[in-house]
Structure 1
Amino acid sequence: MQTNSIIELSRSAYQKNIDFLNQLFGKKRILSSVVKGNAYGHGIPEFVTIASECGVNHFSVFDVEEARQVQAVVQNKATILIMGFVHEDDLEWIIEHDIEFFVFDKKRLTNASKAAKKLKKKAIVHIEVETGMNRTGFEKNELKSVISILKKDKEYLSFKGLCTHYAGAESIANYYRVESQIKRFEEIYQYLCKEELKPEILHSACSAASIMFPKTRMNLVRIGIMQYGLWPSQEVFVAYLNSKKVKIDPLHRVIAWKTAVMDVKKVKMGDFIGYGTSFMAKKNMKIAVIPIGYAHGYSRSLSNHGRVLIHGQRCMVVGVVTMNMIAVDITEIENIKKDDEVVLIGNQKELSISIASFSDYSNQLNYELLTRISKRIPRKIID
């Protein structure tokens, strides 16, 4: 585990986000906390601990490894749903622990039935259908064979959910594409009902769809980025503000990323800083060396652009972001010394470094930045 920096997770910020989301969606609708990608960089063990303490009892993950991490925290006291990769060898563990999972190909369905028969216990499946994303999901013309298997093996297969995923709900540019997907999903649902196969729950909404297309909320919403205090896009944020006629952002950022000054040194005018010649001092300068680099998730594209906070002031990254270090300009700030706090994401005095600001400087999506933060950096839960 690295000790060069720390990730802080605010329990109170998360509770505010969950309270807001529950109020927005209604308590009867299941809110599934999406914790794929190491809980969007927040750390699955720590984040799931917070979420459980805040009343969340449904978690969605990408694969079995993530499901195991969640299971280690919740200990059968919450529902876990695997949305992506499942190896055949893991099916027995999944079924034994009542883990629910997406099925989007016939082989997985038949293998699940075989494993369930062996264990004499039902596999809990969510049938994913293709509506226009063109990624995973059964095409409508494949459903006859799916229906046949579900009916034939109903003793071993519990048809828990019908689901899909929307292609670009975060942008109004995709409006007609998403509307078309919604229509196809409804048609497939009606088709299954006519075949006397009615799932317990319907779900299709991610964070963006839940705001931009409220009718997609159905029985369950799979909420990722919003629970962490961030919006899927500025369009989604503006759509929410306009729909509610409010001007205040109801979300609170859960994560803060902090480190400390490793060294302070002077640089003469005309000298280059760091590798190559990307930054030349145009005057005598003073720099602080920070023990963070692209190996920790601080993108190399932030070279000569990134910002950090030291002593409550913004300091610009100068020179190339290297594997383990960056240099920042502290020429105009007095009395900076080794071990002084450096904020990479979060607040210091009156200023803040937002996750959105990284997009401005690096062309990174907030999702990308967060999931690239090294898993080896310790996560600390704070109030």
Structure 2
Amino acid sequence: MTTDTAPAWAVVFEQVPRAGFIPDTIWVDDPDGPGFTAVSRRTDPSAWEAAVAANAPVITQINLGEPATENGEDFPSSSSSQPSIVADMLDALDPRPGERVLEIGTGTGWNAALLAHRVGPSGQVTTIEVDPALAETARQALTAAGVAAEAVTGDGAAGWPAGAPFDRIIATASVREIVPPAWLAQLRPGGRLVTPWGTDYGNGALLTLDLDADGIASGRFSGNLAFMRLRSHQRSLFGWEPDDDTVAAAEVAATDVRGKDLDMMLNPEKGRFAIGARLPNVALVVEWDAHGPGRHVLELDDLITRSYARLDADVTDPAPFTVRQLGPRRLWDEALAAYDWWHEHAKPGPDRLGLAITDDAQTLFLDTPETVVRTWP
């Protein structure tokens, strides 16, 4: 297996193979319908080996450990991340021999083994997993591989104060908008934190923060990542949606947004990250071809205020798209304002955004800390 990126980690990847940390049963997209189908190392070793050797994520748990559903309404709840992304994240973390590292989200234990190999016998890796069954399986895999990392069970959002301070902290699960204060409290001055960061509007990016001697953490975003959330940062899996009668009574209007605008608003490689960062507590669901080819439905909702917007976009028809909005917030209007802001600021991608954190606030900024995009108290 090759990682294609972060060549400094290529040798470590060869010395710590992923296969030793993947359970005998994994999950892949069901080719015959929705949901997932199991692939067993015992009954289909070639398919299992091909999935594990690929530069792709491997789903190792669905439905929080519950059995697959009959209707295919399954969801992934733990995975081994794409190796090239693992390498990029470890490269951003830049752990050194002898350092103390905390990993949030043990998963299979493979990432902890890679870290332990890098920090060496004079360093220490502690990895924390919220799911007791996953934590125990990872402990067994680490022991079998002869890795001395300490695997503990607990809520990763709280960090691991018993082992603090740490030189490096890395999360293998995404945070939603706010970096847990406990992580920075457990990071030594001069230390580094790396975590996926995102909003409910769309995919996230990798955030790399450095903590200075004054207790201020600051850093930048990079890339386009889709990671499972910290369980305490997860939204309702299916969000909130008003019933048909409520939608029928919503305010109806036309919008001059066209298909090319939707592409820029929804494409993770274009405006989706920055636009989402401007929309507090707004979740996005897109049903492509919901009513036939080119006839899409975009829904925005805010669980807190019970505000909702739906855009019916027929890109095959020159007629204006229809928007329905209800609740105290006009979410489509807010999305358009964020889209205009993105255009006015030369279409920034994640690499132009950063985050600064003090004891009092977390502030998202554009280009420099003086250009504030949004602040969380």
Between Structure 1 and Structure 2, whose CA radius of gyration is higher? Answer: 1
Greater per-residue strand proportion: 2
Structure 2 length normalisation: TM-score?
Answer: 0.30
Structure 1 length normalisation: TM-score?
Answer: 0.30
Higher relative contact order (CA 8 A, sep 6+): 1
Greater per-residue helix proportion: 1
